[in-house]
Structure 1
Amino acid sequence: MQGVANKPVVLVTAADLAPEALAMLSGFEVVFAGKQPGEDDIVALCMRHKPVAIIVRYGKINARIMDAAENLQVISKHGSGIDVIDQAAAVARGIAVRAAVGANAPAVAEHAWALILACAKAVPQLDARMRAGHWDKSTHKSIELNGRTLGLVGLGSIGRRVAAAGIAFGMNVIAFDPYAKEAPAGVKLVALDDLYAASDVVSLHCPLTDENRNMIDAAALARIKRGAILVNTARGGLIDENALVDALSSGELRAAGLDSFAVEPKPHPHPFDGIGNVILSPHIGGVSDAAYVAMGTAAAANVLAVLEAHAGSGV
């Protein structure tokens, strides 16, 4: 089944896509999988519609899904994190995998700073205290970031934006990125252990790989400067969550701001729920009005580029 008027099908693992992206895909039938599609839902749609492309917004794409989509040529991520796609399985089947690199960088960088500032200034906690009738002016002391050190793990398009804001705040900015050949003005590349030891704020901006999974474990947390703030707007799998709970509870870390989690949606109840010095958001760092359009159009452009290349080569 090839869809309306025999148009090839693009399957979107979500309930919507930016109108600008849909306009780019006018030559295709776009099928939506729903708000939170499961693996079985996506498999059923692939078997029914035989899509030539999948745009991944929610959920994971594994070998079973790929095998259910016999015409599949490209899997395009609505965002930059392709760890939700089984890349080895895609390579084995000759399916291209593409990411909308940098499309949500402004939004994620802004959210990282929202979490950094909320942690440093205890904004949610003070708001809750005010609503409960307290006036903590004589007892509360926030952290002043001017003159402190910001350590960035990852210096891609998001990390560089976070660095620029850190410099504007008067912070000393250091970064660890084994793939960076140079750093922007005002940023110093350092070894990871040196970054942990020196940073008052550690912010994660790296992809999740088999090599760095749980890189922030108990041993790493012990090396991070006591009283530091840890922020993660990258991937939840970078942090050993049980070790982080211990570090926050003991005061080893002053606070943490988390936008991603090892299991998503975050289970409830969860040990984080009872920790007062962790600020949580539901992986929405890259979800903004502008990013929604930028990620959608970039994902659509990647689909079109791969399909046109295949058509030109006779594949």
Structure 2
Amino acid sequence: MTIASKKPVLLVTAADLAPQALQMLTEFEVVFAGKTPTEEDVVALCAQHKPVAIIVRYGKVNARIMDAAEHLEVISKHGSGIDVIDQDAASSRGIAVRAASGANAAAVAEHAWALVLACAKAVPHLDARMRAGHWDKSTHKSFELEGRRLGLVGLGAIGRRVAKVGLAFGMEVQAFDPFAKEAPERVKLVSLEELYPTSDIVSLHCPLTADNRAMLNRETLRQFKRGAILVNTARGGLIDEEALVEALTSGQLRAAGLDSFAIEPMTTHPFQTVSNVILSPHIGGVSDAAYVNMGKGAAANVLAVLAQNARNVA
């Protein structure tokens, strides 16, 4: 606790939090780490303020940060991807880790479809050509979705939304998810070995784990149907990026739409010289509504864990 306040401290690894979330956290002194906090910034703030909770928006939380926050009870992700938190370190220290699961599902699903459509219809390319004075009506052919097969890797809250839109487009939809006991109507559960070579579009919607890191590599990308489209709004670590560049430049893949990368922020990368890849800066889950939903979800998780811990002590 700080000298100026007897309120417990909650640290946010960002410069802001939705007002609706802050209204839920009036019993805390909320400390913001800034727009782009470094590990050193967060360690220093933890050592100074001794927060009982951290809401993670940007950056990673490792053992060093946890040890600097000696009163820390819960680390709450502003979103669903908790791979940025060292979960083993948290577990060994008795610190709860929570995610605002589903809070940004609609936003990510919409962005996945924005990337699918941009790839299939070559929207950025045609826009650039038009601005350069070209009229490609007689030479361009887009990729029609109706009757094509959409393959989803992951069938959680986001994947199910993406599947629903695919069906509305008149696509066949298949999915791989080892944890799914059942699939929505008209969605077929298949193995990855079946999904890769039979899908015209593959969209990733799974968490990053030690088991699936670089699941898309030279070997697996060679299994894809030639001319397929790949979209990744999940985690960059799922893809061997060098292998993907090769698949795009060789024509094995028609195009790729990427919203996440192995190293972020991505400022210099071979992707920037590949014409058939569309890039966005990991903003799939960043929308006006998702900002509020993720903030409220992260705040609710903090309150729930601390309340449970207080009951356990009592």
What's the TM-score, normalizing by structure 1? 0.99
- Counterpart residue number, 2:297: 298
Question: After superposition, what is the alpha-carbon deviation per residue over 1:107-153, rounded to whole angstroms, capped at 9, x for unaligned?
Answer: 00000000000000000000000000000000000000000000000
Is 1:282 aligned to 2:281, yes or no?
A: yes
Give unpaired runs (5+ residues) of structure 1: none
* Alpha-carbon shift at residue 4 of structure 1 (Å): 4.2
C-alpha RMSD of the superposition: 0.7
What's the secondary structure of 1:300's corresponding residue?
helix
* Alpha-carbon shift at residue 7 of structure 1 (Å): 0.4
**Contact (CA 8 Å) 1:3, 1:9: kept in 2 or not?**
no
**Structure 1 consecutive aligned stretches of length 4 or more whose deviation exceeds 4 Å:** none
CA distance in 1, matches of 2:283, 2:63: 27
CA distance in 1, matches of 2:46, 2:186: 49
- Counterpart residue number, 2:134: 134
CA distance in 1, matches of 2:95, 2:191: 36
CA distance in 2, matches of 1:245, 1:92: 39
* Alpha-carbon shift at residue 3 of structure 1 (Å): 5.8
CA distance in 2, matches of 1:157, 1:4: 43
**Contact (CA 8 Å) 1:227, 1:252: kept in 2 or not?**
yes
- Counterpart residue number, 1:272: 271
**Contact (CA 8 Å) 1:82, 1:99: kept in 2 or not?**
yes
**Contact (CA 8 Å) 1:4, 1:29: kept in 2 or not?**
no
Question: After superposition, what is the alpha-carbon deviation per residue over 1:52-75, rounded to whole angstroms, capped at 9, x for unaligned?
Answer: 000000000000000000000000
Is 1:208 aligned to 2:208, yes or no?
A: yes
- Counterpart residue number, 2:192: 192
**Contact (CA 8 Å) 1:257, 1:278: kept in 2 or not?**
yes
* Alpha-carbon shift at residue 267 of structure 1 (Å): 3.1
CA distance in 1, matches of 2:129, 2:5: 60
Q: Percent identity?
A: 75
Give unpaired runs (5+ residues) of structure 2: none
What's the secondary structure of 1:10's corresponding residue?
strand
What's the TM-score, normalizing by structure 2? 0.99
Question: After superposition, what is the alpha-carbon deviation per residue over 1:222-270, rounded to whole angstroms, capped at 9, x for unaligned?
Answer: 00110000000000000000000000000000000000000000031x1
* Alpha-carbon shift at residue 314 of structure 1 (Å): 1.0
- Counterpart residue number, 1:263: 263
* Alpha-carbon shift at residue 2 of structure 1 (Å): 3.0
What's the secondary structure of 1:302's corresponding residue?
helix
What's the secondary structure of 2:5's corresponding residue?
helix
What's the secondary structure of 2:111's corresponding residue?
helix
**Contact (CA 8 Å) 1:3, 1:29: kept in 2 or not?**
no
CA distance in 2, matches of 1:267, 1:24: 36
